[in-house]
Structure 1
Amino acid sequence: MSIVRKLWVVVMLCLAGMAGAADLPAVFPQVRSIFPEADAYGGFEGTPPSVAVYQGGKRIGYIFLTEDVLRIPAYSGKPINTMVGLDLEGRIAGLAIVKHDEPILAVGITPERLNRYVAQYEGKSAFDKVIIGARREGHVAIDGITGATITVMVENATVMRSARLVAEARGIRPPVSPVADRKDAAAPAQPAAPAPLPAGEMPAAPAQPGAVSPPESRPQRPEPAPRPAAIASGTAGKPAAVVKQAAPSSQPVHGAMPLTPDFPPQKVAPLPAKPGTWTPPKEEPAWIAIWQNRSFDIAVLVVGLATLSFILIFQDWLAKHPNALTYVRNGFHVYTLFFIGWWGLAQLSVINVLTFVSSVMQGFHWENFLIDPMLFILWGFVATTLLLWGRGVYCGWLCPFGALQELILIASRKLKLPEIEFSDAVHERLVALKYIILILLFGVSLQSISEAAWYAEVEPFKTVISMRFQREWEYVLYALGLIAIAAFNRKFYCKYLCPLGAALAIPGRFRLFEWWLRRRKECGKPCQVCANQCSVRAIRPTGEINANECHYCLDCQVIYYNDKLCLPLIDRRKRREQQLVRGQESRANAPAKNVVVSENHPDDMGTAGQH
C-alpha cells in the first residue's frame, strides 16, 4: 500500500507541474510584466528548468525561477526567489521578486524603490559582470538600495549567475565584442581548424553576433559527405579524434604525432572538454568583489578598531587624565555615528544574531556572512571583545545609535536640562524588559525570520542609521521619541529595551578577565560614589560592577584614580597631608629648641657646632 501511495503522490505532483506550466500567468502573474507580448508558454523543461515563451507561435525567450537554478542565502539566511526573463540573445527582459524573507524588504523598503532597483537589470546581458555601486573596469555598475546592502548584493549575484547558467544551457553564447569583429574583418581569411570531435557527433552551429537562437530553432545544415575516420591501434575500435568540417592539410603540425598502427595507445591524450561547447571562465565568489569595492571603508574601519584596542589597553592612563578621556571618548562617538553608522551602514542588529542562530541550525556557510565586509569585521571584533571585556565595548563605543544618544546627552547637559532617574525598584524591573523582548523575538524567528524582522522594529536602528529617517512617519516618530528620552535619561533605550544588548550580555557572562575595571574593598562598603555617578546604573549597591549592564564608559575608573572623588583615596590623601603638616611643624620647631638650649647652656653651642 505504501508503494501505491508513493506512486500516487508522484503522479499528482507531475500533474500539478503540468497544470502550472500550462497556465503560467495564473500561478505567477509577474510573467505578464516581463513578457507582456507573450501569448503562449511551454512547460518547465531542461536542466536548469525554464519555460519557453512564445508569441504568434514563435519562441521569443525563456522564463525561469532563480530558486530552481541557484540558491544563495541572503541576509535572512534564505535565498530570494526571483522570476527572470531572457530573450533569445541572452538579454534580461525583466525580473520580479516572487518570494523572500528579507527583513529590510518586508519592512522598510517601499515597493517603488524595489521596482526602481529591479528595473536596472532590463537590457543587461546574462554575460555582463554587474556590480553594485562604484564602477570598475570591465563591469556594469547599477545603483543599490540604501540600507539593504547585503540583500541587493545577494540578489545581484543570484540573478546574474542564474541567468548565465540558463543561457548556457539553452545554447546562448556571449556576444562577440565589436573590437573583436573589426580585428577579424581586417585579418586575411584562413581555413578554420575547429576542435576535434568524437566520431558520430556534429559540431554546434557557430554563434552569430547579435542574433543567437536556441539549438532547436536553428536551420539544419546538409550532412557533408562522410570521410574516413582515423582510428588509433589499441583503442578497442574507438576513434581517437575526427575532424569533419576541415580539409586535411598537407602542412605538418608542430608537436603532432602520426597515427600509425604501431602508435602506443598511452600516447592518446584525453580531450580536455566536450567539443563544441563553450566553457565559461571560472568566477570568483561574489564576496571577493564586494570586499575589493569597499577597500577604503575596510581600511578606515580597521584603523578605528585598532585605535579602540589601543584605548582599551591603555585605559588606566586615560582614566588618570579625565580631560583626555573625555575628548577621546566623544571623538570616537562621532566616528562611530558618522562613519560606522551613516557612512558604512554597519549598525549591528538583533536580526544578525537570529540569522546566525538560524544558519547554525540549518547549515552554516561562511559565504552568507562574508557578503558584507563591514558587518563581518565588526562582528569579529565584537566577538573578541565579548571574551575579554564583555558587552560594554560594543554598547559603549561601537554602537552608532548608542553614540547618537551619548552626543544628545552631552548637548542636553550643555543646555542644563534635568536628568531623570527611576528608583532602584523600578530600574531593576525595567532592565528585564530587553531580555523578555529577546526571548519573544527568538521564538518568532524559529517560525519565520521575516516575521521576526517585523517585530524587531522595536530597534530604531533601521530608521535612524540604515535609512537615515527616510521612512514612514510612525517609525520616525518612534525613533525621535527614544532620542528625546535619551536627553533626560542616559541611554534609556539601551538600558531597558535593546534586545541586541541582551543578546550580547549572555555570552558576555563568559568573559575571561575581571580585572579590567578595578575596584577597591571599600567599594559599596561604605563608599557609594561610583554607584551614584554611574548613569547606566551598572554598579550594584554592594560595589560590584554588573558587566551585563556596563557600557564601559570608564567613568568609574576616573573616580578610582581621583583622590578628590574616591573616598579611600581621599582618606589616604588626608592622612598624607596631616603627616606632611606634622613633619613641617616638627622641622619648624626644631631650630627654636636649639636656641633655647644654647641660652641655658652656653658650653653646648660649641658642641652643637662640632656636630
Structure 2
Amino acid sequence: MSGVQRPGLAALRRLVLALSCLFLADSATQAGELDRAGLARYFPPPLVVGEKDDILPVWPILKQQAGSYEVFAYAFESIDFAPIPGFGGTPPDLLVALAPDGTFRDVKVLSHREPVFLEGLGSEPLFAFVEQYVGLSARQPIRVGRPNARASGASPQTTVDGIAMATASTRTINQSVLASALAVARGKLGFGAANVGLRVEAKADLYEPLGLDALLARGWVRRLTVTRQEAARAFRGTGLEEAGEGAQDDILADLYVALLDVPSIGRNLLGPARFEALMRELGPGNHAVMVLSAGPSDAPENPLGESFVLGSVPERVSVGQGGLVVNARDMAVERRGAGLAEGLPAGDWTILRIDAAAGFDPSVPWMLTDKIVRERGQILSEKITRDFSVETTLPGNLFHRESAQDGPDWTEAWRARLPALVGIAGMVALLVPVLVWQRRLVADARRFPVFRLAFLAVTVAFVGYGAQAQLSIVTLMGLVRAALRTHDFAFLLYDPPSLVLWAFVLGSLVLWGRGTFCGWLCPFGAMQELIAWLGCPLRIQLVVVPPALDQALRKAKYVVLVGLLAATAAGSPAADAMAEVEPFKTAITLSFLRSWPFVAYAVGLLVLNLFVYKGFCRYLCPLGAGLALAGRLRILDWIPRRSECGTPCQLCKVRCRYGAIAADGRIDYPECFQCMDCVTIIHDPGQCVPQVVARRHAKRIVPRPVPAR
C-alpha cells in the first residue's frame, strides 16, 4: 500500500532474542533481604531479635518477662514463603510478625511493584490496608471486602476493608499475608493443618439415649489416667522420677474427654436444657470438647485445679490432630447446675471451644494431651514436661462434611466481580453481531452513529470506571516479569474483568485485528472519541499531519513498546515510571485523582485529540503497538472494498480521520480503529460514489474485498 509501511521486523526479532537470553540467564529466585540488624529497626527495645531459625527463614522476637525472655512474635518476610506475583508481575514483600497464638502483631510493606500504588494512589493507602491485619488471627479465613465493608456490617475478625480502584492488588496482598502466615504457623506454631477451610458439623437430628458406661464402651467418651509408676517411667533419666509420696499405682491424673456437639454425647452428658444452651452459644461449625478431672482439685497433677484460668487457653491440656495442636479455648460457661449425667464423677471440668477456622475434623482421630510438668533446680529452675495422650475416634456417620471454601483464594474475586463479568459479556455479545452482520446496523447512516456513541459511553462508564477493566501495557510488563523471574501467572486471575476482556481481545485480533479493542472497548480511546464529538460545536479544525511526518510518528509507539518491554526484562527500576506514558491509570483507574503533572499530561492528550484525532492512540500507545503487531496474524480482510476504491474514488480515504486508508483504497488494518465510517459509506447508495455513478448508468455493482498489505 502506498505510503503505508510495516514496523521494522528486525527490531522485533532483536527484542525477542534479548528476552530469550534474559530468560535463560535469570534463574535466581527472589528471597527476603532483611538481616538481624534490619529487623531490629522494626522491633526496637525492649524487644530483642533472636537467632534466626535453622530450618525456616523466621526470626523470633523476644520480650523480657519476669526475668526471662519469652517469644513475643515470629517475624518473617512473605516473599520467603508465598512469592505470589502482584499485578506488576513481581511478588510484594511484606514483613509479618505473628504471635505464638497466631495473632498478627504487625504487617508492614517492605517493597512492592503494584502499578496502582506506584505514582498512582501512592503507597499510603497500601500501608493503611495492611495495618488492618494487626489483631486479627491467621486461624481465620480473612477476606478482602468492599471499601468500608466493616462499617457496613462485615465481620471485623474475618474481613479487611478493600481499596477502591485497587481490587486485584489488595487480593494479592491478602493472599500473600495469609499464605505466608499459615506456612509459618505449620512449622512454628502447630496449627494450619490441611483441614483449614473444611466445615464438619455433627448431625443435629441423630440422637440415641446412652449412659456413661455405654459411651465409654463405644469409645465416644474417653478416659486418660496416669499413674505414679507411668509418670516415673516417663521422667526416667531426668532425676525427677520420684515426685511426692504414695504407692506406684496411685493415679496422678484422671481425665474424662468427650466431644459435646454430637447430640448422642453432649445431650446425654449435659442434659437437654444445658445441651441446647451450649449449642446456641457455640454456633454453627464450631466444636466443644469437655475435659473433666476426676481427681481432687488440690492434686498436684490436676490440670484444671485452682491455677486454671477460665476463658483462657489451657497451659497443660491441648487438643491435637494430624500432629498439630488445634486452638482450643475455655468457653467460661457456668459451672453450677451443669446437669452432668448421673455416673460422671465429681471434679473440675472445662468445655474447650474449637472454632471452625481451626480446621479441626472430629470425624477423624484426634487426641487430648495432658502435660505433666516437674521442675529441678532451685536458683535457675528448669521445667521438664512429659505428654500423656488419649485418642478419640468417632464414627464418620455422626457428621456432615463439606468445604467451607470453594476453591483457591482467587475464586473469591470471580464471585465478587460476577456483575462486572456479566456486563462485559453482554457488551461483547452485542458488539460481535454488529461487526459480523454489517448490513443490519452499520450500513444505516442514521442509526449506526447513535449506536456507536452510546456504546462508547458505556465503555467509558462501565468498562472503565465501573468494572475497572482498562487494559494496559502494565499487564504485558507483568507477563514479562513473571516469565523471566517468578514463572507464576496467577496474578492475572485476581482481576477477572480484565482477564475476560483480554481473552476476547486476543480472539478478535485473529479475526479482525487491533481495532476491535482500540476502537470499541478501550475506555480511554472511547473517552477521546466522545470528547471530540462533544467538541464539534467548537468547530475546531483537525490538523493535517504531513504524510512523511505521520508515518514517522506512527513508528514511535513501536519504539515505546520495545523500550518498555526491554527495560522490564532487564529489571530496570525505571520501567514502571516509563509505563506512565500511558494515561490510563490517571484518567480511568484513578479518575484523575492524582498529582497535577500526571493529570496535566492526561488532560493534555485529551485536548490534543481535538486537533490531532486520537493522536495518542495513533502515535504513542504501547499497548496499541503490541496489539497491532499481534493483529498481523489476522485471517480476514473483512472490511469491504470495491475495485473503484482509490481509483478513482477517494471518499473513504478523505473521511478516515485515522489515516488508515491508503491512496489506492486498501485498509491498513494495524492502524484501523474500526469506526466503521467507511463501511457505512460503501453500503450507502447515497454516499458511495461508485454506486451513485452506477445508478446513473443503471448498473449494479457489488463490494468485494481488496487484500491489505
Match of 1:347, SS? coil
| Alignment-mate amino acid for residue 521 of structure 1 | S
1:221 alignment partner, SS class:
strand
Aligned-partner residue type, residue 154 of structure 1: T
How far apart, CA to CA, are the structure 2 residues paired with 1:329 and 1:40?
A: 65
Tell me if 1:27 matches 2:149: no
* Corresponding residue number in structure 2 for 1:132: 144
TM-superposed deviation, 1:288:
0.6
Partner of 2:48: 40
Deviation at 1:467, TM superposition (A): 0.6
* Per-residue deviation, 1:355: 2.1
TM-score (structure 2 length as normaliser) = 0.64
Find the counterpart in structure 2 of residue 100 from structure 1: 112
Change (3 A) 1:293 1:571: same
526-535 or 62-71, larger mean C-alpha shift: 62-71
What is the CA distance between 1:443 and its match in structure 2? 1.4
Query: Compared with structure 1, are the counterparts of its residues 181 and 91 closer, same or farther at alpha carbon in structure 2 (3 Å cutoff)?
Result: farther
Instruction: Kindly indicate whether the alpha-carbon contact (under 8 Å) linking 2:480 and 2:568 is maintained by their aligned counterparts in 1.
Output: no
The answer to whether residue 697 in structure 2 is matched with residue 575 in structure 1 is yes
How far, CA to CA, are the matches of 1:181 and 1:435 in structure 2? 66
Counterpart amino acid of residue 164 in structure 1: L
Distance in 1 (CA, whole Å) between partners of 2:481 and 2:391 is 62
Residue 455 of structure 1 aligns with which residue? 578
Separation in 2, partners of 1:254, 1:548: 67
1:521 pairs, out of 643, 650, 663, with 643
**Structure 1 residue 368 corresponds to structure 2 residue 491:** yes
The gaps in structure 2 that reach 5 residues or longer are: 1-31, 197-258, 262-276, 295-316, 332-351, 354-368, 375-386, 397-402, 701-709
Q: Which residue of 2 aligns with 1:330?
A: 453
In 1, distance between residues paired with 2:320 and 2:290?
Answer: 23
Change (3 A) 1:30 1:333: farther
Residue 246 of structure 1 deviates from its aligned partner by: 4.5
If asked which structure has higher relative contact order (CA below 8 Å, sep 6+), I would say 2
**After superposition, what is the alpha-carbon deviation per residue over 1:446-500, rounded to whole angstroms, capped at 9, x for unaligned?**
1126531210101100000011111110000011111111122221111111111
Aligned residue for 1:457, secondary structure, equals helix
Structure 1: which amino acid aligns with 2:113? D
Q: Deviations over 1:490-548 (max 9, x none)?
A: 2111111111100100010110111x200011111111110000001100111111001
Q: Secondary structure at the match of 2:117?
A: helix
Q: Does the 8 Å contact 1:412/1:488 carry over to 2?
A: no
Q: How does 1:166-245 map to 2 (within 5 A)?
A: 166-171=184-189, 173=191, 182-183=281-282, 207-208=328-329, 221-222=372-373, 245=389
Give the distance between the partners of 2:679 and 2:421, measured in 1 at CA: 32
The alpha-carbon distance between structure 1 residues 46 and 129, as it changes in their structure 2 partners (threshold 3 A), is farther
- For residue 144 of structure 1, the aligned residue among 142, 162, 174 is 162
Shift of 1:385: 0.2
Counterpart-to-counterpart distance in 2, 1:451 and 1:166: 34
Higher helix share: 1
Contact 1:144 1:152 in 2 (8 A): yes
Give the whole-Å Cα distance in 2 for the aligned partners of 1:88 and 1:254: 33
Query: 2-side partners of 1:146 and 1:450: how far apart?
Result: 26
| 8 Å Cα contact 2:101/2:189 also seen in 1 | no
**Does 2:83 match 1:54?**
no
Point out the more displaced range, 411-420 or 459-468.
Answer: 411-420
Structure 1 equivalent of residue 342 of structure 2: none
1:5-37, Cα deviation, whole Å (9 max, x unpaired): xxxxxxxxxxxx9x975xx2x3246623xxx56
How is 1:29-428 mapped onto 2 (pairs within 5 angstroms)? 31-32=42-43, 38-45=46-53, 48-56=56-64, 57-134=69-146, 140-171=158-189, 173=191, 182-183=281-282, 207-208=328-329, 221-222=372-373, 245-246=389-390, 284-362=407-485, 364-428=487-551
Deviation sequence 1:53-99 (CA, Å, 0-9, x none): 11222221111111121221111222111100112321111111122
CA distance in 2, matches of 1:370, 1:492: 32
Q: Do structure 1's residue 544 and structure 2's residue 666 form an aligned pair?
A: yes
CA contact (8 A) 2:40 2:48 kept: no
Q: Distance in 2 between matches of 1:494 and 1:253?
A: 67
Q: CA deviation at 1:417?
A: 2.5
Secondary structure at the counterpart of residue 647 of structure 2: coil
Judge conservation of contact 2:459–2:520 (CA < 8 Å) in 1.
yes
Greater shift after overlay, 542-551 or 203-212?
Answer: 203-212
Letter in 2 for 1:440: G
Aligned 8 A contact 2:58 2:76 in 1: yes
Q: Answer whether contact 2:90 2:486 (CA < 8 A) is retained.
A: no
Amino acid in structure 1 at the alignment position of 2:530: L
Partner Cα separation in structure 2 for residue 185 and residue 497 of structure 1: 61
Output the TM-score relative to the length of structure 1.
Answer: 0.74
| Matching residue's letter, 2:566 | G
Q: Deviations over 1:532-580 (max 9, x none)?
A: 00001100111111001000010001110122322211111211399xx
Amino acid at match of 2:107: L
In structure 2, the residue corresponding to 1:63 is in which secondary structure? strand
Contact 1:146 1:466 in 2 (8 A): no
Q: In structure 2, how many angstroms separate the alpha carbons of the residues matched to 1:128 and 1:411?
A: 52
In 2: Cα distance, 1:404 partner to 1:161 partner: 40
Q: Give the secondary structure class of the aligned counterpart of 1:548.
A: helix
Partner of 1:508: 631
> Alignment identity in percent?
30
Question: Matches of 1:538 and 1:247 in 2, distance apart?
Answer: 78
Give 1:230's aligned residue: none
Moved more, 91-100 or 473-482: 91-100
Counterpart in the other structure of 1:430: 553
When residues 172 and 30 of structure 1 are mapped into structure 2, their CA distance, relative to the original with a 3 A threshold, is: farther
Deviation per residue, 1:126-164 (Å, 9 max, x gap): 122222234698783323333333222111101012112
The one-letter amino acid of 2:372's match is R
Distance 2:288 2:87 in 1: 50
Q: Does 1:469 align with 2:592?
A: yes
Alpha-carbon separation, structure 2, partners of 1:186 and 1:196: 14
Gaps of 5+ in 1: 1-16, 213-217, 224-242, 256-279, 579-611
2:520–2:526 contact (8 Å) kept in structure 1: yes
CA contact (8 A) 2:318 2:328 kept: no
How far apart are residue 191 of structure 1 and its match? Answer: 8.9
Partner SS state of residue 53, structure 1: strand
The verdict on how the C-alpha distance between 1:196 and 1:341 changes in structure 2, with shifts beyond 3 A counting, is closer
Structure-2 residue corresponding to 1:608: none
- Structure 1 distance, partners of 2:391, 2:455, is 75
- The residue that corresponds to 1:440 in the other structure is 563
| CA–CA separation in structure 2 for the residues paired with 1:499 and 1:560 | 32
2:242 paired residue number? none
- Structure 1 residue 186: deviation in Å? 9.6
Matched position secondary structure for 1:96: strand
Distance 1:564 1:76, change over 3 A: same
Q: Which amino acid aligns with 1:328?
A: F
